[in-house]
Structure 1
Amino acid sequence: MILSIPNVLTPEELQVITSSLNETDFVDGKTTAGWHAKVVKHNFQLKSEATYAKDLKDLVKAALKRHAVFQMAVLPRVIHSMLFSRYEAGMSYGRHIDNALMGNQDFLRSDVSLTLFLSPPSTYEGGELVIESTDAEQAYKLEAGSVIVYPSSTLHRVEPVTEGVRLVAVGWVQSLVREPSEREILFDLDTTRRAIFTKQGKTIEFDLISKSHANLLRKWAE
């Protein structure tokens, strides 16, 4: 399931992040790419030694943890390996697959990838995130403060930026439910039961869907 979620960051949080990011603290993005992704990765990333890096990562993680739709769709066990990326004119990230396992010693699985857009789309040209499916591909360029989540198992790329600067935060999630199709079923059930509760309250239908949601989550969660 690919899902765009608007307004994950408040305007104030977005301002804190973008005003904190210092161009001089960015380094070659190849330093965190897998051996094959290095060939097609052409961007800058905020160095981990930046004094404010942890605070910004914690801010983003807190925003994701409080957002109901993100939690329903992704079912995160842990959000990990977060990076802040900068694309200037001429930069891109070619077709690649994200590493299945990330971390130094305690490896974490990448079930869901996320891109949080930090630059308004009107401030740069190009830079679309393109996600491939079996017989098609879709380009995404969201409003600042919005996030897109998608299975880490998909091939994807970032188109060349031709003008301006594209700032994003990218991260990965080890989900409680690793299979994308199972997460989608749970998301649909959860969305439906919440809609019923909003319109009709705690009905028999709500209880039955809640039972199915809970029992499937119990069956599939790791």
Structure 2
Amino acid sequence: MLSLFAVPDAFTKSECELIITKISEAPTDEAFLVGQNRDHNLRKSELVWTDEVAGMEWVMERLIDLVRRSNRDQFEFDLREFAESPQVAIYKSSESGHFSWHSDIGGGPASKRRKLTLVLQLSDAEAYEGGNLEIMPGAQILSASRAQGGVSIFPSFTLHQVTPVKSGTRHSMTVWAHGPAFR
């Protein structure tokens, strides 16, 4: 069964802290949803697109390598490109940060061709409570590792959520690998 590919130490603690520092200097956007509706019942977070942050090219190179390895070892999807900038999501307990059950395909032209979703855990697990990334590849719910620098990769059509952050702030980075639409 296609489910979850995990790399527990894809980035070091210092690399994750550098990414958080870099994105903290960038302007954030409130998360938009399909149709540009602001439904805070579905999602509440701030976003930074890393293409707009200088000095982040090395991150994308590492993410591409991780996706290639996971696709070779587990998924074997027809991947062609990374058509969207990596996105850093900031989930704050002060704003009840969360993202309810959803998949990453549908909506706009790029999201229809999403094949794999990669989530990089940027925050130290002790920096926040709640905010768990849960993935539902079938009848069971899997919890992604909270280890700082860990990566979780799964098919973009898989239902997943980020549970409400109860204290602190959770930072994570997401990027999508694209290919021809599933048939």
TM-score range, shorter chain: 0.7 to 0.9
Deviation of the 1:13 alpha carbon: 2.8
Describe the shift of the 1:154–1:38 C-alpha distance in structure 2 as closer, same or farther (beyond 3 A).
Answer: farther
Q: Structure 1, unaligned stretches of length 5 or more?
A: 180-222
2:80 corresponds to:
77
Q: Secondary structure at the match of 2:70?
A: helix
2:100 corresponds to:
94
TM-score normalised by L of structure 1 = 0.66
2:138 corresponds to:
134
Residues 1:157 and 2:161 are matched in the alignment: yes
1: distance between equivalents of 2:164 and 2:104? Answer: 19
Whether the 8 Å contact between 2:115 and 2:177 is mirrored in structure 1 is yes
Give deviations 1:103-161, integer Å, cap 9, x for gaps.
57xx8710111111100111110011111133221122421111100111111111000
Whether the 8 Å contact between 2:113 and 2:180 is mirrored in structure 1 is no
Deviation of the 1:38 alpha carbon: 4.8
Q: Secondary structure at the match of 2:72?
A: helix
Residue 124 of structure 1 is aligned with which of 104, 125, 128? 128
Describe the shift of the 1:71–1:85 C-alpha distance in structure 2 as closer, same or farther (beyond 3 A).
Answer: same
Aligned residues: CA RMSD:
3.0
Point out the structure with the larger helix share: 1
Give deviations 1:165-199, integer Å, cap 9, x for gaps.
100101111258969xxxxxxxxxxxxxxxxxxxx
Residue 109 of structure 1 is aligned with which of 109, 113, 118? 113
Q: Structure 2, unaligned stretches of length 5 or more?
A: none
Q: Secondary structure at the match of 1:98?
A: coil
Give deviations 1:187-214, integer Å, cap 9, x for gaps.
xxxxxxxxxxxxxxxxxxxxxxxxxxxx
Flag as ranges the 4+ runs of structure 1 deviating above 4 A.
Answer: 47-50, 101-104, 175-179
2: distance between equivalents of 1:78 and 1:102? Answer: 16
Whether the 8 Å contact between 1:121 and 1:141 is mirrored in structure 2 is no
Residue 31 of structure 2 is aligned with which of 20, 29, 32? 29
**Larger Rg, first or second structure (1 or 2):** 1
Identify which of structures 1 and 2 has the higher relative contact order when contacts are C-alpha pairs closer than 8 Å and 6+ apart.
2
Whether the 8 Å contact between 1:101 and 1:109 is mirrored in structure 2 is no
Q: Secondary structure at the match of 1:122?
A: helix
2: distance between equivalents of 1:108 and 1:77? Answer: 14
Q: Secondary structure at the match of 1:14?
A: helix
